[in-house]
C-alpha cells in the first residue's frame, strides 16, 4: 500500500480503457489546483505530476484521454467533447503536434513578424520600411531601391534600436 505524501488529497479510483483495450484501475491524488478549478484526473502520476496513460476532465466536461508526460498531454490522445465531438491528435507538451511547429521553444525570441526573419545585407540595419546603411546614411526599400537619406536623429535611432545584419535584436546575443 502506497503512503500518501503530505499535501496529497484522497485518490480517485477510475475505470478506464487502457491503450491495450483492457480496463485499468488507477488512483490519482487530488491536487489543490484541481480542487480549485473543478478538474479531475484519473491515471498514473510520477513526482506528483500526470504521467503515462490517463483521463483528464476539464470543468466544462471536455475530457482528454491519452498519454501524458510531465503533467501535460504528450503523445497519442483525444479530446472528447460533451456534445459528442472528438479531436484526436498526437500531442507535444500540451499542444497538438500539427500546431506545435507554430510555437516557439522556451528562450527563443521571434525577432520580426517574418519567420525566419528577413536577411539583412552585411553592415546594414532593418529599420522597418527597408534597410539602412550607416556608411552611406541611406535607407533603401527591401528591393534595395533608394528611399531617403537619414538625418542625424534617424541615424542615432536606427543604430540604437534596429536589428543589424547577423546580430539579432538590439541588446540580444546571437543565438547558438
CA distance 67 to 55: 9
More confident residue, 167 or 90: 90
CA distance 130 to 137: 13
CA distance 35 to 43: 17
Mean pLDDT of the chain: 75
CA distance 172 to 176: 12
Helix, strand, coil percent content, the chain, rounded in steps of 5: 10, 40, 50
CA distance 96 to 78: 10
- Do residues 45 and 28 make contact, with C-beta atoms less than 8 angstroms apart? yes
pLDDT over threshold 50, residue 79: yes
Task: Please give the average per-residue pLDDT across 38-50, as a whole number.
Answer: 84
- Do residues 56 and 49 make contact, with C-beta atoms less than 8 angstroms apart? no
Cell numbers found for residue 66: 491519452
pLDDT digits (tens, 9 = 90+) for 24-41: 434 445 555 566 678 888
Q: Strands (DSSP E) along the chain, which ranges?
A: 11-17, 23-29, 40-46, 49-57, 63-69, 72-80, 86-92, 95-96, 125-126, 131-133, 138-140, 146-149, 163-164
User: Can you give the pTM of this predicted structure?
Assistant: 0.43
Amino acid at each position: 500500500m502506497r503512503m500518501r505524501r503530505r499535501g496529497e488529497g484522497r485518490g480517485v479510483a477510475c475505470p478506464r480503457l487502457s491503450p491495450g483495450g483492457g480496463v485499468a484501475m488507477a488512483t490519482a491524488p487530488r491536487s489543490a489546483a484541481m480542487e480549485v478549478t473543478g478538474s479531475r484526473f484519473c491515471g498514473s502520476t510520477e513526482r506528483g505530476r500526470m504521467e503515462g496513460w490517463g483521463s483528464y476532465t476539464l470543468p466544462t466536461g471536455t475530457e482528454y484521454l491519452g498519454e501524458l508526460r510531465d503533467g501535460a498531454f504528450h503523445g497519442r490522445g483525444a479530446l472528447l467533447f460533451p456534445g459528442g465531438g472528438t479531436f484526436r491528435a498526437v500531442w507535444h507538451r500540451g499542444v497538438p503536434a500539427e500546431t506545435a511547429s507554430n510555437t516557439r521553444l522556451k528562450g527563443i525570441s521571434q525577432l520580426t513578424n517574418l519567420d525566419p526573419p528577413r536577411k539583412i545585407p552585411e553592415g546594414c540595419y532593418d529599420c522597418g520600411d527597408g534597410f539602412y546603411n550607416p556608411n552611406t546614411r541611406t535607407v533603401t526599400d527591401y528591393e534595395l531601391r533608394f528611399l531617403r537619406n537619414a538625418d542625424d536623429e534617424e541615424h542615432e535611432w536606427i543604430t540604437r534600436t534596429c536589428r543589424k545584419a547577423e546580430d539579432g535584436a538590439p541588446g540580444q546575443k546571437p543565438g547558438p
